[in-house]
Amino acid sequence: MSSAFPTTSHAVRYHETGKPNEVLKYEELPLPVPGADEVLILMEMAVIHPSDLGMIGGTYGRLRDLPAVAGREAIGRIAKVGSAVTTLQVGDRVKMPEDAGVWRESVVAKASGLMPVPSDIPAEQACMAFINPPTAWLLLREFANLKSGDWVIQNASNSAVGECVVQLAKSLGLHTVCLVRSPEKHAANLKAMGADIVLADDDKATKALAAQWQGAAAQLALNSIGGPSAITLTRALDNGGTLVTFGGMTGDMIRFPTREFIFKDIRYRGFWMDRWARSAQPKDLEGVFDAIFSRLRDGSLKMAVDSVYPLADYASALAKAGGYSRNGKVLLRGPASA
Ligand SMILES: NC(=O)c1ccc[n+]([C@@H]2O[C@H](COP(=O)([O-])OP(=O)(O)OC[C@H]3O[C@@H](n4cnc5c(N)ncnc54)[C@H](OP(=O)(O)O)[C@@H]3O)[C@@H](O)[C@H]2O)c1
């Protein structure tokens, strides 16, 4: 970390929404001197998510005024504090403020409202603590009154959220059925994390599950795909069960089986972490992040990292993130990275 105060800073920006490889630019921007109540944060590690691509493409639930800096989730280190700041010190790790965009070398922000992040969690895990693990935690806790021994079924189970669901469910004493596109690639890993059953997400899944399940049923189903996969999830639900949709990776409309919907009194819900976080009470946020940080610290919750690229090489990172050959998240390294 350089002690000289930079006057400019690079950021990955877009001036119009569109395909990331067409609209994103690596730009040099002026960097203001922090005011009395402000701090300078140098980016340490940032994440590339499907929702970042939705935001850049103009399809996400909340869009930024243009031109905008891309990226939603990152951690940084305080490099300079304003004269009136008493709560943070140089070197402290914080969550980068999301609304300003985080695929940037540095940012000046008000000290109040910045979320401290424990320094004893590896940067590659800490940078991913704020969207997917709390989403998985809340999906398991807010929609069904689950008891130890209950079953949860999900699709896209090898996604970051899916792997968090498996690990958190195990720590809560719940069983999981995991549907994936490529079981030959993901079954061993998911089972090592605690998944009970891993199956191909195809039109044979309902029969294959019945053969292993012997009359059991799920109290909660988690859908992040869209299309016909929700039919399998719904058929696996118990009477009065709940299916929560929180993602739409195929872009197709969700399909529901009418018989089960009516005769099993199935409840369909939606969940958006962004909405939850913006309306949550501070004590509820604190409770969720205490649960996540303690598990990231002791290693009982771990997210896969495919690769880490320097911020300036964001184009290669995005190409990797959008491809089918990755195994885990693609991260961007900033100037505060060790
Ligand atoms: N609502 C919320 O608050 C919230 C919060 C966090 C995440 N999400 C959403 O949850 C989803 C997962 O996010 P993530 O960051 O965990 O994802 P991720 O780690 O990037 O993984 C993406 C997953 O989607 C699967 N996938 C991609 N394209 C697919 C397709 N056409 N058909 C079926 N599966 C497909 C991938 O399977 P393969 O490995 O087989 O390609 C992989 O399992 C995304 O839709 C994201 O936007 C929502």
Would you give the distance in Å from CA 202 to the centre of its chain? 25
Choosing from 14, 26, 60, 309, which is the catalytic residue? 60
Residues 151, 172: contact at Cβ < 8 Å? no
Q: pLDDT tens for residues 276-320?
A: 998 999 899 999 999 999 999 999 999 999 999 999 999 999 999
Q: Give burial (CB, 10 Å; 0-12/13-18/19+) of 115.
A: middle
Do residues 136 and 270 both lie within one domain? yes
Do residues 22 and 98 both lie within one domain? yes
Do residues 107 and 239 both lie within one domain? no
Closest CA relative to residue 158, chosen from 137, 131, 179:
179
Q: In the prediction, which pLDDT does 203 show?
A: 94
Bridging pattern class, strands 305-310 and 24-30: unpaired
Average pLDDT of the chain is: 94
Distance 168 CA to ligand 1 centre (A): 18
Say which CATH number the domain at 262 has: 3.40.50.720
Ligand 1 atom at minimum distance from 248 CA = 45
Do residues 82 and 148 both lie within one domain? no
CB of 51 closer than 6 A to ligand 1?
yes
Lookup: tokens for 104: 């940037």
Distance 32 CA to ligand 1 centre (A): 37
Range(s) of the domain holding residue 319? 8-128+303-333
The pLDDT profile of the chain, 338 residues, written as one tens digit per residue, is 445 677 899 999 999 999 999 999 999 999 888 999 999 999 999 999 999 999 999 999 899 999 999 999 999 999 999 999 999 999 999 999 999 999 999 999 999 989 999 999 999 999 999 999 999 999 999 999 999 999 999 999 999 999 999 999 999 999 999 999 999 999 999 999 999 999 999 999 999 999 999 889 999 999 999 888 999 999 999 999 999 999 998 888 898 999 999 999 999 999 999 999 989 998 999 999 999 999 999 999 999 999 999 999 999 999 999 876 788 999 999 999 96
Say which CATH number the domain at 311 has: 3.90.180.10
pTM of the model: 0.93
Instruction: Give CA torsion, residues 29, 32, 34, 38, to 10 deg.
Output: -60
Q: pLDDT tens for residues 131-169?
A: 999 999 999 999 999 999 999 999 999 999 999 999 999
60 as an active site residue: the answer is: yes
Nearest CA to ligand 1 atom 22: 159
Last residue of a domain, one of 274, 292, 323: 274
Nearest CA to ligand 1 atom 40: 181
Do residues 122 and 150 both lie within one domain? no
Nearest CA to ligand 1 atom 42: 159
